[in-house]
C-alpha cells in the first residue's frame, strides 16, 4: 500500500501517477490557491478580514492555462470551459473552472475502473463544476450531490444563513466500490418507531412474511396451523422461527399471526442518505483542530473512505491540506497519496500522520533536504521553515533524546498589513498528556495537535507563555542540526528528495 506525501503542484504530480492506480479520490480545492497563508487561522478571526477571504481570482496561471485546454482535456470539456470564458469573461469563477478541468481529467485517468471521486465545493460554484464533471465522467456516472451541513447557524443579513457545503460524488463507470454505511437511530426515531419495551429493551413488531408465493419450498410451511397469506412466504425457515420462539421474540395475534420483536440494537441503523447533518465542523475546542481554517473533520473523510473503498485500496487527496484524508485512510487500513503545493500544509499533514504510522514507510517529496535550501527557506519564508522544522524534527529516529520537550519554530508574518509573530510546535513524543488550558484570546489558539499560530505578542512573550502553560521547555530548531539529524535518519531521509 502506498503512503506518499508530495509537496508540489498537483497537476504535475497527477501526471506522474500510473493510470488506474487509485480507487478513491477526494478533492477539496481552495477558493484562492494563490494566497500562501489563506488557511492560517487566528484566535480572533475577523469575518471579512482580507487574509481569510476564500475566493478565486483570475491569475497568470489561469491566463496561461486557458489556451492549453484543448491539449489538456477532452474536446467537450475544453469547448465547455472556453464557451464559459467567452460568455462570462475572465472572472474568478472561470479561473476556478480553468484550473479544475485539467485536474479532474487527470483524476479520471488515475482512477481504477471501479473507482470514484468526491469533489468538495461551495454552493456558489458547485453547479458550474458539476457540468465539468458531467462532461468528464458522463452524466450517467453522477451518483450524488451530498449536502454537508457544516455549521448550525450563520448570521447573514437579508438572506438565509449559508450553512452547507456541496460534495459531488461520481463513479468512473457503472460498477464501482460501494459499502453501505449506517447512522445510529436518533432518539426521536427510537421514540417514534420502537414504542414498546421489555426486559431486553425497546422493540418494534415486524411481519414474519415476505412477498412472493414459494409454495413447495422450505419457506412455505404451516406455523401453528397457519400457512403464510396468499402471495407471501415465511421470511425465515422453520428452524429459525423455532429459535425466535424459543428466545421469546415472537408475539402471536388473537388469530394466530406471528410477529417478530425487533430490538433497537438488532439492525445496523439507518443507511446514510445524501444530506449529512450529523458531522459537525471542528470547533475551537476540538482535539482534531490544528489551526488550518479549511481543515475538514475526520469523521467526514472516514465516511467517504469507508463507503467508496476497501481495505488495501489507495485513496488520493491532491489538495490534502492538513492531511485529514490521509489520517482517515491510514486508520481504515487504506494506502494513501497526499499532494499539496504548500510546505506549511504538508508539514502539518506530516505531523498529523506521525502518530498513525511508522514514518519510515512514508515517501516524502518536496521537503528541503540540504542546509542551503533550509537556510534559504528560513530567510525567505520563516513560517514555512518553522513548520517544516518542527514537523521534520518530530519524524527523527533519535527524537527520544528530546522526550518531554517541544520542537518549536517561529517567525513573523504580515497579514492584511498587520504584523504577527507565529509559532509552531510539535510534542516530541506521541502525545502531550497534560490537558491544555483554555487559551486567553490575546495569545492565539493553542491547537492540541501541536501548532500555535499567530499572536500579536512578541515572540519572547509567546514562547514564555507557551512554556509556562504547558510546563514543558521548547527546543529551538537549528538549521544545520535539523538537516544533519535528518540525514542520519535512515528511512525518512532516504525518501526525502530535493525540491
Ligand atoms: C481547502 S484546503 C484542503 C483542506 C484539507 N481538506 C484539510 O482537511 O485540511 C486546499 C489545499 O489545496 C492546496 N492547493 C491549492 N492549489 C494547489 C495545487 N495547484 N496543487 C496542490 N495543492 C494545492 C492549498 O495549499 C490548500 O492546502
Cβ(65) – ligand 1 distance below 6 Å: no
- At residue 441, the pLDDT reads 36
pTM to 2 decimal places: 0.78
Can you tell me the distance from the alpha carbon of 108 to that of 456, in angstroms, rounded to the nearest whole number?
45
Which whole-number Å values give the CA distances from 80 to 60, 88, 96, 123, 249, in the listed order?
21, 12, 14, 20, 61
Give the residue whose CA is nearest to atom 27 of ligand 1: 321
Can you name the residues that pair with 165 across neighbouring β-strands? 148
Nearest Cα residue to atom 16 of ligand 1: 33
The pair phi, psi for residue 151, each rounded to 5°, is -150, 160
> Once rounded to an integer, what is the mean pLDDT over residues 427-451?
38
Taking a C-beta distance cutoff of 8 angstroms, is the pair 496, 369 a contact?
Answer: yes
Cα–ligand 1 centroid distance for 31 (angstroms): 9
Residue 122: which pLDDT band, with cuts at 50, 70 and 90?
A: confident
Helices (H) and strands (E) in the chain, counts: 16, 22
165 neighbors 154 (Cβ within 8 angstroms): no
Distance 428 CA to ligand 1 centre (A): 26
The pLDDT of residue 77 is above 90: yes
Collapsing DSSP states into helix, strand and coil, what is residue 156?
A: coil
The model's pLDDT over 30-75, given as tens digits with 9 standing for 90+, comes to: 864 344 343 333 332 222 232 333 456 788 888 999 999 999 999 9
Q: Residue 257: pLDDT above 60?
A: yes
Coil, helix or strand at residue 292: strand
* Residue to mutate, 10, 11, 27, 30, ligand 1, most ligand atoms under 8 Å from C-beta: 30
Ligand 1 atom 19, closest CA: 9
Ligand 1 centroid distance, CA of 112 (Å): 23
Give pLDDT tens digits for 285-311: 676 776 667 889 999 999 999 999 999
Pocket flag, ligand 1, residue 32 (CB < 6 Å): no
Angle in degrees, CA 324, 286, 293, rounded to 5: 55
CATH 3.40.50.150 fits 3-181+273-365, yes or no: yes
Residue nearest to atom 3 of ligand 1 (CA): 321
Report domain extents, the chain: 3-181+273-365, 183-266, 371-495
Q: What is the pLDDT of residue 133?
A: 98
Distance between CA atoms of residues 279 and 297, nearest Å: 8
Tell me the C-alpha distance between 496 and 487, whole Å.
10
Which of 128-142, 148-162, 251-265, 432-446 is least confident?
Answer: 432-446
Higher pLDDT, 161 or 371: 161
Reported confidence tier of residue 383, pLDDT bands at 50, 70, 90: low
Q: Hey, which of 14, 320, 339 would you mutate to test ligand 1's pocket, going by the most ligand atoms within 8 Å of its Cβ?
A: 320
Amino acid at each position: 500500500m502506498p503512503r506518499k506525501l508530495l509537496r508540489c503542484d498537483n497537476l504535475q504530480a497527477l501526471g506522474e501517477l500510473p493510470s488506474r492506480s487509485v480507487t478513491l479520490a477526494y478533492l477539496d480545492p481552495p477558493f484562492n490557491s494563490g494566497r500562501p497563508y489563506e488557511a492560517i487561522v487566528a484566535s480572533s478571526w475577523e469575518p471579512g478580514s482580507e487574509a481569510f477571504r476564500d475566493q478565486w481570482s483570475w491569475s497568470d496561471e489561469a491566463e496561461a492555462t486557458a489556451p492549453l485546454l484543448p491539449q489538456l482535456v477532452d474536446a467537450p470539456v475544453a469547448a465547455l470551459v472556453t464557451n464559459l470564458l467567452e460568455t462570462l469573461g475572465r472572472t474568478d469563477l472561470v479561473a476556478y473552472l480553468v484550473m479544475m478541468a485539467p485536474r479532474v481529467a487527470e483524476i479520471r485517468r488515475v482512477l481504477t475502473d471501479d473507482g470514484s471521486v468526491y469533489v468538495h465545493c461551495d454552493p456558489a460554484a458547485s453547479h458550474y463544476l458539476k457540468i465539468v464533471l458531467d462532461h468528464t465522467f458522463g452524466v450517467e456516472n453522477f451518483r450524488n450531490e451530498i449536502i454537508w451541513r457544516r455549521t448550525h447557524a450563520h448570521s447573514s443579513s437579508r438572506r438565509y444563513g449559508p450553512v452547507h457545503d456541496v460534495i459531488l460524488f461520481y463513479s468512473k463507470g457503472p460498477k464501482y466500490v460501494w459499502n453501505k454505511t449506517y447512522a445510529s437511530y436518533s432518539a426521536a426515531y427510537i421514540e417514534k418507531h420502537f414504542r414498546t419495551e421489555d426486559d431486553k429493551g425497546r422493540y418494534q413488531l415486524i411481519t414474519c412474511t415476505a412477498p412472493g408465493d414459494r409454495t413447495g419450498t422450505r419457506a412455505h410451511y404451516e406455523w401453528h396451523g397457519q400457512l403464510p397469506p396468499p402471495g407471501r412466504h415465511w421470511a425465515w425457515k422453520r428452524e429459525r422461527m423455532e429459535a425466535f420462539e424459543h428466545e421469546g421474540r415472537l408475539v402471536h395475534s388473537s388469530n394466530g399471526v406471528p410477529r417478530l420483536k425487533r430490538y433497537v440494537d438488532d439492525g445496523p441503523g439507518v443507511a446514510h442518505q445524501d444530506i449529512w447533518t450529523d458531522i459537525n465542523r471542528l470547533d475551537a475546542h476540538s482535539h482534531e483542530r490544528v489551526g488550518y481554517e479549511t481543515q475538514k473533520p475526520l469523521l467526514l473523510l472516514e465516511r467517504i473512505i469507508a463507503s467508496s473503498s476497501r481495505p488495501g485500496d489507495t485513496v488520493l487527496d491532491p489538495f490534502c491540506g492538513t492531511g485529514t484524508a490521509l489520517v482517515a485512510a491510514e486508520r481504515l487500513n487504506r494506502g494513501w497519496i497526499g499532494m499539496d503545493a504548500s510546505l506549511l500544509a504538508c508539514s502539518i499533514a506530516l505531523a498529523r500522520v506521525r502518530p498513525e504510522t511508522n514514518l519510515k514507510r512514508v515517501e516524502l517529496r518536496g521537503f528541503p533536504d540540504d542546509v542551503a535550501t533550509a537556510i534559504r527557506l528560513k530567510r525567505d519564508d520563516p513560517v514555512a521553515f518553522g513548520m517544516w522544522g518542527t514537523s521534520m524534527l518530530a519524524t527523527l529516529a533519535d527524537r527520544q533524546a528530546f522526550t518531554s520537550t517541544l520542537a518549536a519554530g517561529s517567525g513573523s508574518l504580515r497579514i492584511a498589513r498587520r504584523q504577527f509573530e507565529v509559532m509552531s510546535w510539535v510534542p516530541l513524543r506521541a502525545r502531550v498528556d497534560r490537558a491544555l488550558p483554555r487559551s486567553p484570546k490575546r495569545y492565539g489558539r493553542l491547537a492540541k495537535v501541536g501548532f500555535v499560530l499567530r499572536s500579536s505578542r512578541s515572540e519572547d512573550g509567546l514562547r514564555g507563555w507557551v512554556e509556562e502553560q504547558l510546563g514543558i521547555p521548547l527546543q529551538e530548531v537549528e538549521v544545520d542540526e535539523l538537516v544533519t539529524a535528518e540525514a542520519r535518519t535512515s528511512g525518512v531521509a532516504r525518501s526525502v528528495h530535493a525540491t
